[in-house]
A and B are shown apart, each in its own frame.
Chain A
Amino acid sequence: MPNSTAEKVRPVQKDRPGSKVNSLQDEIDRLTERFGTERKALIPILQEIKKRHHIISGYAMQCVADRLSISPAEVYGVVSFYSFLHEEYQGRIVIRLCRTISCDMAGKDAIARQIQNDLGIKFGETTPDGKFSLEWANCVGMCDQGPAIIVNEQVFTHVTPEKVQEIITACVKMYERTPDLFKKGNHNEHKK
């Protein structure tokens, strides 16, 4: 029975009411039910994994490749190509500061320095508590209202250095009010 080994490695759980999604594999199964197993489903699946876990681990990439019957290298190729997909853990609140021309001319450097000071991290880093990541963004289309930053999916415009702390505080509050929105998910799953 050639299928039996595969079954052992990856027991297929039925989606019973009340049953918990307790592994990344099951979660990916559920995502393939939603998006399909064709190649075009790859990016939507990866976007969901990123949203829930804040990381697309090597393990997750392997699981996805397995379900879509493509090489993990193909999945890695996609993850490494797009700046919104990450193979490393990102904070639950991702702050992206636009660095392109109009925001640059409007004074993004001062904002960049102040965010770094207030968060205590540099661009491309994540705070040790896993709350914040700081990233650069290329033109976010807010050139008439720069400098602009995008926090997860929310935009802040006309940012000034003194507003930086306000925005960070607002993010923390948002985070505390709606912890579900920033749920950590099965973060340890990727370490398997």
Chain B
Amino acid sequence: MNIRNEVTFASIRPKDGLTAALGKDRDVVVEEVLRSGLKGRGGAGFPTGVKWKLAAEAKAEEKYIICNADEGEPGTFKDRVILAEWADLVFEGMTIAGYAIGAKSGIIYLRGEYGYLRQALEDKLALRRTEGLLGDDVMGKKGFSFDIHIHMGCGAYVCGEESALIESLEGKRGESRNRPPFPVSEGLFGCPTVVNNVETLAWVAAIFALGPDWFKHVGTEKSSGYKLLSISGDVAHPGVYEFPMGTKISAILKAAGAERPKAAVVGGASGILVPAKDFKRAICFEDVSTGGSIIVLSEDRDFLDILENFQEFFADESCGQCTICRLGNVKLLEGIRLLKEGRCTTKHLQELCTLGSSMRAASKCGLGQASPNMFLSILQHFKGEVLGRPQADDHFVNKRKAS
């Protein structure tokens, strides 16, 4: 499974968190999540407690808890490991969330690519039902009924965005919604809905097992707790690592055995490029924020190859709803290919950068807003490396060869 260091989840005894949470009043549960300082582990970093509080306060017949297991960000695989190894913690986190906001049903939106995990998850859910951990009167708690079912995704990256995910659950194309209203007031089928990442929910179970103060005291002031990181690329030991929030990138790369790193892509395709000179920066919400993806690039890598790969990804995965994202990503891809061919003028490059800034401002959802990040990031740090590439019929090269 490539779990490379000690992960807190392995030491949490199942049922501990759920028992502790169900022994408290609903508003105390919300209060403790707030106090722990837990923020969304999917990357956006919205305070989980605030989300829960808003959903708990919303008046509605039906409410929903959705576990976002549509882990599609390039370079991220920690949710896969959590679901394979510690799924019970995720189920417990969902149950606690259901109790806190007054929801009766939970849905795991599992990405289609993780279809092979489904049977084991279904078996675990069935076992929990027989043990009274799901169903009517969970753990003997009168009046609290909660059940979880799994919905399979169909291979669309944009469905990791919460409102697109909700659209998909409603049987529609995964196109993100306008906000407000936010899902916490009008989400799935118009009901208050909390969408939390797999890791966030597992941390909820850990927080109730070990106490909110334990979590608060780890990490930095604004980013409490630990973070699971998925490390891949040019490293000796790729895999899942756990670090306290605020750990320096250099320390993380050292642990993973990075080979002559030139830069690290933090946060996947929609993240940023951190050049080696900035490795003293820290992984946390106030510095370099990530959903968990770190891809290490060695000195031998060509940034244009990396960029072309990311841009192909976005051109393919844009849902097509916003014109600037649908066409802008194709334009950026064409620009990268021009750069590779050594045919991009400085003026055109400038236009592409302006386009990138407009994409950030004018796209509706996170996909479009983040899609030019890597392009702009690489140009900011390594412009000299991407300009003036040799052309296929290069006059200068041919002349040198001839002589």
Contact = CB atoms under 8 A, between A and B. Distances in A.
Interface of A: 38-44, 47, 77-78, 81-85, 99-102, 104-105, 137-146, 150, 153-155
B2 A137 contact: no
A162 to B, nearest CB: 22
Interface string B248-274: 000000000000000001000100000
B2 A144 contact: yes
Interface string B32-55: 000000000000000000000000
Contact of A143 (B74, B173, B310, B312): B74
B368 interface: no
B306 interface: yes
A142 B72 CA distance: 11
Contacts of A78: 171-173
B295 A101 contact: yes
Interface string B142-160: 0000000001111111000
11 contacts: A38-B171, A78-B172, A81-B174, A99-B312, A101-B310, A102-B233, A105-B233, A141-B77, A141-B80, A141-B114, A145-B238
A185 B151 CA distance: 24
Nearest to B171: A42
Nearest to B175: A81
B238 A144 contact: yes
Given A100-B309, A105-B234, A144-B230, 8 more contacts: A43-B154, A102-B75, A104-B309, A138-B155, A138-B157, A138-B316, A143-B74, A143-B76
A70 to B, nearest CB: 9
A102 B156 contact: no
Contacts of A105: 233-234, 295, 301, 306
Contacts of A100: 74-75, 269, 309, 313
A102 B235 CA distance: 11
Residue among A41, A105, A142, A144 with the highest chain B CB neighbour number at 10 A: A144
B232 interface: yes
Contact of B152 (A47, A137, A138): A47
A40 to B, nearest CB: 5
B156 A83 contact: yes
The list of the 3 closest CB pairs from A to B, nearest first, reads: A82-B154, A42-B171, A143-B232
